[in-house]
Amino acid sequence: MPKRAYSPGDVLSKTYTLLPWGSKWAAAFGYPEINETWLIHGQSAQGKSSFAMQLARELCNYGTVLYMSYEEGVSQSFQKRLKTFRMNEVQGRFRIATDDTIEELGKRLACKKSPRFVIVDSFQKAGWSYEATMELIKRFKRKSFIFISQEHKGQPMGKAAIRLKYEAGVKVRVSGYKAYCQGRFIPEAGVYYTVWEEGILRTTNKLG
């Protein structure tokens, strides 16, 4: 039997659960689905990790966040970032893991009351294949996976990360402490989320 084909009415009648965040986030990223897949990339020391932590803090308003800190572990720099963004204030909805394999993460997510949002930092350090990553996403369709990627020549580093970018509904590039949405939910070209205002001023002054 052939697979179902949808009519325009079928599509238009569908409803989606969107992230109900405020104007600060919506101005740059619109209102993506709460279970959308994200891919965030940028060069080192451009504000990528700080943006990821700010995003984690915001998402704690809508569910539990699991931060897979593969790259930094629980190092001093990671601790400093927790302090900067006062993550202790949301510790009831924020958890950190450092060495789960993709199979172990799957078991964790299959448990009752498992995290709604999973941040993987970084995709390269996790060492997952594209195929295994897509299987995980499809298995847990009601969860949001947010991948942080290293960058090479303006694009996510490695073929697997580039393929993953095409699958992500929200694509974000962080540069000069500005986070630009490049995905399907972009509200307006050129608009960005300010990661660190002082950093932007310093960068601008250097360029000037």
The answer on pLDDT for 61 being more than 60 is yes
Alpha-carbon dihedral 188, 138, 52, 105, rounded to 10 degrees: 180
pLDDT at 165 over 80: yes
Q: What is the pLDDT of residue 33?
A: 95
pLDDT confidence bin for 200, thresholds 50/70/90: confident
What are the tens digits of pLDDT across the range 110-130? 999 999 999 999 999 999 999
pLDDT of residue 182: 85
Helix ranges (DSSP H) in the chain: 8-12, 23-29, 48-59, 76-84, 102-109, 123-126, 130-139, 159-167, 197-207
pLDDT value of position 205? 66
Q: At residue 105, does pLDDT exceed 90?
A: yes
As a whole number of angstroms, the distance between CA 26 and CA 120 comes to 23
pLDDT, tens digit, 9 for 90 and up, residues 171-182? 999 999 999 998
Res 7: pLDDT:
86
